[in-house]
Amino acid sequence: MNAGSVTVVDFVTDETTTPILADETPTSRAYRGARFVLRYPAVFISPLIVIALVALWQWAVTTFDVSTYVLPAPSEIWTSLHGIISTATFWQNVSVTVQEAVLGFALGAGLAFLISLVISEIALLERAAMPYMVAFQAVPTVALAPIIVISVGYGLTSKVVIAAIIVFFPMLVNCVVGLRATGMDRIELVRSLGGTRWQVLLRIKLVGALPYIFAGLDIAIVLSVVGAVVGEFVGAKAGLGYAQLQANYNFDIPGSFAILVVMAVIGIGMHEIVLVVRRRVVFWEQH
């Protein structure tokens, strides 16, 4: 009887699995392929969009005979980029800008996070300090950059400060909103079980705010590159912003566009690093 039962199970398994694979139609395979592509748009769809835009750009510049000084063709930018990346000066400039951006990001985001912890716990302090922070953020960083460079110097420090300033406010707002978003029912539950204010902050509010904090970090890491480059525009001896100014002075428009491409790649790379860390830390958000 037992042997017969095993035989029946094996027969049913073969009947329910093999015909499905054998009867799979081209339409079903195409549907599965489309779902796989849509699941990873950054791998499949985004490159296709870039290729289409570059091809359209190349066609428009060639067809309408646009001057290189107005808008260089992608082929000219690629040639210039290939020549630039083979030099040691280029990699030195990349290293300087990345260092400025990372340090500015760490300084600005770190200060914003610490201040948000205090502000979220003391409502009076938020009402008293926030107007001044908003007023300071309303002043364009480009207007502050010359003052900072003159005060601090043309070295690394001034670029880090500028990057930190441009990073600070978006990070602060996201952290405060996240810390305030925790439901009162969870907070009251922990307090009823004897939880201290410090435990509520670290174990309830901070954990619940992690998605908001990483959203702020995602914005801040890209803005840090902007801040570093703005500082280099005002006054620097190295960096991608300095290199782009040199290209503009020499009317090397393809070279200027090539440096812009490098800046964009750096920003995308930093953005992806934050996303990888977010997936590991805020793992419950994954679907």
- pLDDT 10s digits, 272-281: 999 999 999 9
For 122-139, give the DSSP string: -HHHHHHHHHHHHHHHHS
Q: Look-up: residue for tokens 């978003």?
A: 181
Do 76 and 254 touch, CB atoms closer than 8 A? Answer: yes
Asked whether residue 245 is assigned to any structural domain, the reply reads yes
Does residue 148 carry a pLDDT above 80?
Answer: yes
Residues 115 and 156 both lie in one domain = yes
Asked whether residue 239 is assigned to any structural domain, the reply reads yes
Residues 133 and 53 both lie in one domain = no
Residues 184 and 56 both lie in one domain = no
Least confident of 15-29, 151-165, 217-231: 15-29
Domain boundary among 63, 83, 102: 63
Asked whether residue 211 is assigned to any structural domain, the reply reads yes
Do 113 and 174 touch, CB atoms closer than 8 A? Answer: no
Least confident of 10-14, 32-36, 109-113, 116-120: 10-14
Residues 36 and 128 both lie in one domain = no
Which sign, positive or negative, has the C-alpha torsion 24, 30, 33, 35? negative
Residues 104 and 152 both lie in one domain = yes
CA–CA distance, 242 with 155 (Å, rounded to integer):
12
CA–CA distance, 106 with 217 (Å, rounded to integer):
10
Residues 9 and 114 both lie in one domain = no
What tens digit of pLDDT does each residue of 209-261 get? 999 999 999 999 999 999 999 999 998 889 999 999 999 999 999 999 999 99
Residues 160 and 95 both lie in one domain = yes
Here the tokens at position 263 are: 């800046």
Asked whether residue 68 is assigned to any structural domain, the reply reads no
Asked whether residue 233 is assigned to any structural domain, the reply reads yes
- Outline where the chain has alpha helix (H): 2-22, 26-39, 41-63, 74-84, 88-121, 123-138, 141-152, 156-180, 184-192, 197-199, 206-234, 240-249, 253-281
CA–CA distance, 218 with 89 (Å, rounded to integer):
29
Asked whether residue 280 is assigned to any structural domain, the reply reads yes
Q: What is the mean pLDDT of the chain?
A: 85
Exposed (0-12), middle (13-18) or buried (19+): which is 102, by Cβ within 10 Å? middle
Does residue 7 carry a pLDDT above 70?
Answer: no
Residues 31 and 123 both lie in one domain = no
Q: How many CA atoms lie within 13 A of 63 on its CB side?
A: 6
Asked whether residue 237 is assigned to any structural domain, the reply reads yes
- DSSP symbol at 203: I
Asked whether residue 69 is assigned to any structural domain, the reply reads no
Residues 96 and 232 both lie in one domain = yes
Here the tokens at position 265 are: 């790649």
Q: What percent of the chain has pLDDT over 70?
A: 84
Give the pLDDT band of residue 4 (cuts 50, 70, 90).
Answer: very low
**The pLDDT value given to residue 183:** 74
Do 108 and 250 touch, CB atoms closer than 8 A? Answer: no
- Interior/surface letters 9-48, b for 16+ CB within 10 angstroms, e for the rest: eeeeeeeeeeeeeeeeeeeeeeeeeeeeeeeeeeeeeeee
| DSSP 3-state of 237 | coil
Here the tokens at position 246 are: 């040199």
CA–CA distance, 73 with 196 (Å, rounded to integer):
63
**The pLDDT value given to residue 23:** 53
Do 284 and 109 touch, CB atoms closer than 8 A? Answer: no
Residues 94 and 47 both lie in one domain = no
In this structure, what CATH number is given to the domain that contains residue 205?
A: 1.10.3720.10
Residues 9 and 56 both lie in one domain = yes
Q: Which domain holds residue 165?
A: 74-285
Q: CA geometry: angle at 116 spanning 105 and 286, to 5°?
A: 70
Domain boundary among 38, 63, 88: 63
Domain boundary among 63, 82, 109: 63
CA–CA distance, 118 with 37 (Å, rounded to integer):
45
Nearest to 105 by CA among 267, 260, 277, 281: 267
Residues 147 and 225 both lie in one domain = yes
**The pLDDT value given to residue 120:** 85
| Count of domains observed in the chain | 2
